[in-house]
Amino acid sequence: MLLSAEGHAPGLKRVNAGDREVEVLLSIANPRLLLIGDLLSEQERVILLGLSMGKLRPSLVVGAEGHETHATRTSEGTHFDRGSHPVVSRVENRVATLIGCPLTHIEPLQVLHYREGGEYRPHFDWFDAALPGAERATEIGGQRIATLIMYLASAEDGGATIFPSLGLELNIRPGQGVYFENKNSKGEMDRLTLHGGSPVRSGEKWIATAWVRERPYVRPAA
Ligand code: PD2
Ligand code: ZN
Return the sign of the alpha-carbon dihedral for residues 145, 150, 155, 158.
positive
Q: Is residue 5 part of a domain?
A: no
**Ligand 1, closest atom to CA 198?**
3
Mutate to test the pocket of ligand 1, among 209, 212, 213 (most ligand atoms within 8 A of CB): 209
What pLDDT, on the 0 to 100 scale, is given for residue 98? 96
> Would residue 221 count as lying in a domain?
no
Structural domain containing residue 25: 14-213
| pLDDT exceeds cutoff 90 at 67 | no
Highest average pLDDT, of 52-61, 123-132, 163-172, comes from 163-172
Distance CA 45, CA 67 (A): 28
Nearest ligand (C-alpha, residue 110): 1
Tell me, what's the pLDDT at 75?
84
Backbone angles phi, psi at 124, to 5 degrees: -105, 145
**Among the bound ligands, the one closest to the CA of 210:** 1
- For the stretch 136-167, pLDDT in tens is 889 999 999 999 999 999 999 999 999 999 99
Using the 8-state DSSP alphabet, how is residue 18 labeled? S
CATH code (residue 178): 2.60.120.620
CA nearest ligand 1 atom 10, residue: 209
| Residue of the CA atom closest to atom 11 of ligand 1 | 209
Residue 6 lies in a domain: no
Does residue 132 sit within a domain?
Answer: yes
Q: Is residue 1 part of a domain?
A: no
Phi, psi of 99 (to 5 degrees): -80, -30
CA nearest neighbour of 173 among 196, 190, 189, 150 = 150
Instruction: Please indicate, yes or no, whether the overall pTM of this predicted structure exceeds 0.85.
Output: yes
Q: What is the pLDDT of residues 13-44, one digit of tens each?
A: 899 999 999 999 999 999 999 999 999 999 99
Total domains present in the chain: 1
- Residue 18 located in a structural domain: yes
